[in-house]
């Protein structure tokens, strides 16, 4: 278990480039199982969760070649399906929630897909029903071994159909799409997720020979094909990391430029931070944030009522940035209500911020009211632990803005989502020491 020691209170300065998107990588890497031909993927983030998935693909028999940092070729022409029934797979698959997305491609190409109950962040229940109901709608037979917590689906050939998803699950939609591209006939998915990650997946599949229309909407239509070929694909910059750096710049009153952000794929993210009073400028495809030496003021609604920031499926505000918004609001002028609608337990890290001196009222498991300190009272460094990836980066940002020294235990959680986080922040002037 790793630990970060942070000396806070100093402004940072410089340029930082976001890594490739973790959530996209955990989807598009699984497409390599759909074809025996070579697939090249670039801008892959070098983080724990993604590396676990790459290792899992290797154990499945996928031939993997690293070309350079973040660039790999994959060829699944000799897949070892017996690995799916091994004890090693049960252990390795259960440690990574993204492993659920190997099921759709395996089912589509080989007629069977198995997975142990996946792990991941402890942010409340994240059910798998949408995935398996989609496979069943396509004609697969479902089975579940309760004793081993092992799921399985099997089908000789999937059949296209119409389905209305009960939730716009991103990973559920991705898994169903990857299964449907090789199904016989036409599949229509209504209430599909339409996040940029899902759009990227669909565009990649089309470049492999799939026939998907409606990309970017919540109504996808897929004409099944018999085979898919290889392709080259580049992963988008990580929008969650971009939002994290915006929050970091404002809260540490730092002048930072975020390079190559793919503005057109950021949706409402820049405007949400502007509502917190944060100034950010578009310079080409970069984001420039000036040093907020005079602070930043939260906007009220036009009728004077308190601003509410809540999460929603795309094109709404991503839930992965709510913890950043909450943390940054602790030093704003004004008040804001944070409403976490999509997950449970994601606001329970606020007790650490309260211990640091923040003024936060946790109304219930889903809502918190933040009363900004306007930098008149600095947060103070404390000993704390990172409960998950997004809370962890939020606490790291708080520690960098705080007076004194903070220690964040369980920093491995942060490493699961952020590549070389300490080295990249040190390059901006942060004082971080990694203790393994």
Enumerate the known binding-site residues.
Answer: 22-23, 97, 320, 342
Beta strands in 166-250 (DSSP E): 186-190, 211-213, 219-223, 231-234
DSSP designation for 293: T
Take residue 346 and report the two structure tokens written for it.
């994601």
121 noted as active-site residue:
yes
Residue 87: partners with Cβ closer than 8 Å, 6 or more residues away: none
Q: Which residues of 119-149 are buried (b: 16+ CB within 10 A; e: fewer)?
A: ebbebeeeebebbbbbbebbbbeeeeeeeee
Q: Are 56 and 102 in contact (CB under 8 A)?
A: yes
What sign has the CA pseudo-torsion 328, 332, 335, 336? negative
Phi, psi of 127 (to 5 degrees): -75, 160
121, 311, 415, 422: the catalytic one is 121
Distant-in-sequence, close-in-space partners of 92: CB < 8 Å, separation ≥ 6 = 52, 55, 56, 59, 99
3-class SS at 353? helix
* Cis peptide preceding 103, ω within 30 of 0: no
Annotated binding site for UDP-N-acetyl-alpha-D-glucosamine: 97, 320, 342
Q: Would you call 328 helix, strand, or coil by DSSP?
A: helix
Binding residues for phosphoenolpyruvate: 22-23
Residues noted as catalytic = 121
């Amino acid at each position: 278990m790793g630990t970060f020691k942070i000396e806070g209170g100093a402004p940072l300065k410089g340029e930082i480039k976001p890594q490739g998107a973790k959530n996209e990588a955990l989807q598009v890497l699984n497409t390599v199982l759909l074809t025996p031909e070579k697939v090249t993927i670039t801008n892959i983030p070098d983080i724990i969760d993604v590396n676990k998935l790459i290792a899992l693909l290797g154990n499945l028999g996928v031939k993997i070649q690293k070309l350079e940092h973040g660039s790999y070729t994959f060829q699944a022409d000799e897949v070892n399906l017996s690995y799916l029934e091994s004890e090693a797979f049960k252990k390795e698959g259960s440690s990574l929630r993204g492993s659920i997305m190997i099921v759709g491609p395996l089912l589509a190409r080989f007629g069977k897909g198995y997975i142990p109950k996946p792990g991941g962040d402890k942010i409340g229940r994240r059910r798998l029903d949408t995935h398996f109901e989609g496979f069943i709608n396509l004609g697969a037979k479902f089975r579940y071994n309760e004793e081993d917590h092992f799921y399985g689906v099997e089908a000789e050939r999937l059949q296209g159909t119409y389905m209305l998803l009960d939730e716009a699950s991103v990973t559920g939609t991705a898994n169903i799409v990857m299964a449907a591209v090789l199904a016989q006939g036409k599949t229509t998915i209504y209430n599909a997720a339409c996040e940029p990650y899902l759009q990227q997946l669909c565009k990649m599949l089309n470049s492999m020979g799939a026939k998907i229309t409606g990309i970017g909407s919540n109504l996808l239509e897929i004409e099944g094909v018999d085979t898919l070929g290889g392709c080259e694909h580049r992963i988008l910059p990580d929008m969650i990391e971009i939002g994290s750096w915006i929050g970091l710049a404002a809260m540490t009153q730092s002048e930072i430029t975020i390079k190559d952000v793919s503005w057109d794929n950021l949706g409402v993210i820049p405007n949400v931070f502007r509502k917190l009073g944060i100034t950010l400028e578009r310079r080409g495809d970069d984001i420039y944030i000036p040093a907020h030496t005079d602070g930043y003021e939260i906007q009220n609604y036009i009728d004077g009522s308190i601003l509410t920031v809540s999460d929603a499926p795309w094109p709404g505000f991503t839930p992965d940035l709510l913890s950043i918004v909450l943390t940054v609001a602790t030093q704003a002028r004004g008040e804001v209500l944070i409403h976490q609608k999509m997950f449970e337990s994601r606001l329970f890290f606020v007790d650490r911020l309260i211990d640091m001196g923040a003024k936060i009222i946790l109304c219930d498991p889903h809502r918190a009211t933040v009363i900004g300190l306007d930098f008149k009272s600095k947060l103070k460094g404390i000993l704390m632990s990172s409960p998950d990836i997004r809370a962890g980066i939020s606490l790291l940002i708080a520690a960098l803005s705080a007076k004194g020294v903070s220690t964040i235990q369980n920093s491995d959680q942060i490493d699961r989502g952020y590549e070389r986080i300490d080295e990249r922040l040190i390059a901006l002037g942060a004082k971080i020491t990694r203790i393994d």
